[in-house]
Chain A
Amino acid sequence: MTRVLAWAIFLFGVFYFVLPLFGMTEFSLRMRRGVYSLDAYRVVLADPQFQATFAYSTVMALLTIVIGVLIVVPTAYWVRLYLPRLRPVVEFITLLPLVIPPIVIVFGYIRLYNTSSWLPMTGSSTGTNLLLLCGYATLALPYMYRAVDTGLRTIDVRTLTEAAQSLGAGWFTIMSRVILPNVLVAVLSGAFLTFAIVIGEFVMAALLNRPAFGPYLQLMGANKAYEPAALAVIAFAITWACMGLIALVTRLQKFTPAPR
Chain B
Amino acid sequence: MTRPLPSRENSPLRYVGVAPFLLFTGLFLILPTGYIVLGAFRAADGGFTLDHILGLNTPSIRNAYWVSIRISFWSALIGSAIGLGMAAAVIHGGLPKAFRGPLMTFSGVASNFAGVALAFAFIATLGPAGLVTLWLRSEFGVNLRAQGFNLLSTTGLIVTYLFFQIPLMILIIAPALDGLKREWREAAETLGASGLQYVRMIALPILFPSILGCFALLFANAFGAVATAIALTGSSLNIAPILLFAQIRGDVLGSPGLGYALALGMVVIAGVANALSIWLRTRSERWLR
Q: Bound complex: CA of A131 vs CA of B274, how far in Å?
A: 27
Assembled-state Cα–Cα distance A98/B220 (Å)? 9
Distance (Å) between the CB of A81 and the closest chain B CB? Answer: 8
- A229 partner, pick from B27, B120, B244, beta carbons under 8 A: B120
Given contacts A82-B9, A112-B35, contact A90 B21 (CB under 8 A): yes
CB within 8 Å of A: which of B228-248? 230-231, 234, 241, 244-245, 248
**In the complex, what residues of A have CB within 8 A of residue B9's CB?**
82
Within 8 Å of chain A (Cβ to Cβ): is B212?
no
Residues of A within 8 Å of B223, CB to CB, are 101
Check A138–B121 contact: CB distance below 8 A: no
Contact A111 B121 (CB under 8 A): no
CA A109 – CA B32 in complex, angstroms? Answer: 6
B226 at the interface (CB under 8 A from A): yes
B158 within 8 A of A: no
User: In the complex the two chains form, is A135's CB within 8 Å of B231's CB?
Assistant: no
- Which of B5, B24, B263 meets A134, CB within 8 Å? B24
Q: Give, as a whole number of angstroms, the nearest-CB distance from A50 to chain B.
A: 13
Q: Mark A73-114, 1 if CB is under 8 A from B, else 0.
A: 011001101110010001001101111111111111111100
- Given A138-B25, A240-B109, decide whether A100 and B244 contact each other with a Cβ distance below 8 A: no
- One of B59-67, B84-92, B176-184 at the interface: B84-92
Asked if residues A105 and B33 are in contact (CB atoms below 8 Å), the reply is yes
Q: Please choose the segment from B46-54, B142-150, B265-273 that sits at the chain A interface, where 4 or more of its residues have CB less than 8 A away.
A: B265-273
Contacts A6-B88, A101-B241, A222-B234; is A134 near B27 (CB within 8 Å)?
yes
Looking at the assembled complex, report how far the CB atom of A172 sits from the nearest CB atom of chain B, in whole angstroms. Answer: 13
User: A97, B5: Cβ atoms under 8 Å?
Assistant: no
Q: Are B124 and A23 in contact (CB under 8 A)?
A: yes
- Is A107 within 8 A of B248, CB to CB? yes
Chain B, 243-267, contact with A by CB distance < 8 Å: what is the 0/1 string? Answer: 0110011000000000100010011
Interface SS of A by simple majority: helix
Instruction: Flag whether A137 is at the interface (Cβ < 8 A).
Output: yes
Choose the segment among A8-16, A51-59, A176-184, A252-260 that binds chain B (4+ C-beta atoms closer than 8 Å).
Answer: A8-16
With an 8 A cutoff between CB atoms, is A190 at the interface? no
B287 within 8 A of A: no
| A71 and B17 within 8 A (CB) | no
Chain A residues near B106 (CB, 8 Å)?
Answer: 17
Interface residues on B, range: 35 or more
CA distance A58 to B131 in the complex (A): 31
Whether the Cβ atoms of B117 and A200 lie closer than 8 Å is yes
B36 touches A107 (CB 8 A): yes
A: contact size bracket: 35 or more
B98 within 8 A of A: no
Known A22-B131, A99-B270, A161-B5; judge A10-B224 contact (CB<8 A).
no
With beta carbons under 8 angstroms apart, the residue of B5, B33, B35 that contacts A100 is B33
Residues of A within 8 A of B206 (CB): none
Q: Which residues of A contact B122 (CB under 8 A)?
A: 20, 23
Task: Let me know if B29 is at the binding interface, CB within 8 A.
Answer: yes
Q: Given A104-B263, A221-B120, does the pair A17, B29 have CB atoms closer than 8 Å?
A: no
Contact B227 A203, beta carbon cutoff 8 Å: yes
Whether A104 contacts B109 by the Cβ 8 Å rule is no
Complex Cα gap A103–B249 (Å): 11
Chain B residues lying within 8 Å of A244, measured Cβ to Cβ, are: 105
Indicate if B130 sits at the interface (CB-CB under 8 A): yes
Q: Measured between C-beta atoms, what is the minimum distance from B126 to chain A in Å?
A: 8
A-B contact pairs, 18 of them (CB 8 A): A1-B195, A5-B93, A6-B90, A10-B95, A16-B82, A26-B124, A82-B14, A99-B220, A103-B266, A104-B36, A107-B36, A135-B28, A207-B248, A217-B231, A229-B121, A235-B113, A235-B116, A247-B105
Known: A104-B33, A203-B226, A229-B121. 7 other contacts (CB 8 A): A24-B121, A24-B125, A75-B21, A100-B271, A101-B226, A200-B116, A218-B227
Query: Which of B's residues lie within 8 Å of A, judged by CB?
Result: 1, 5-6, 8-9, 14-15, 17-18, 20-21, 24-25, 27-36, 39, 82, 85-86, 88-90, 93-95, 99, 105-106, 108-110, 112-113, 115-126, 129-132, 162-163, 166, 195, 220, 223-224, 226-227, 230-231, 234, 241, 244-245, 248-249, 259, 263, 266-267, 270-271, 274
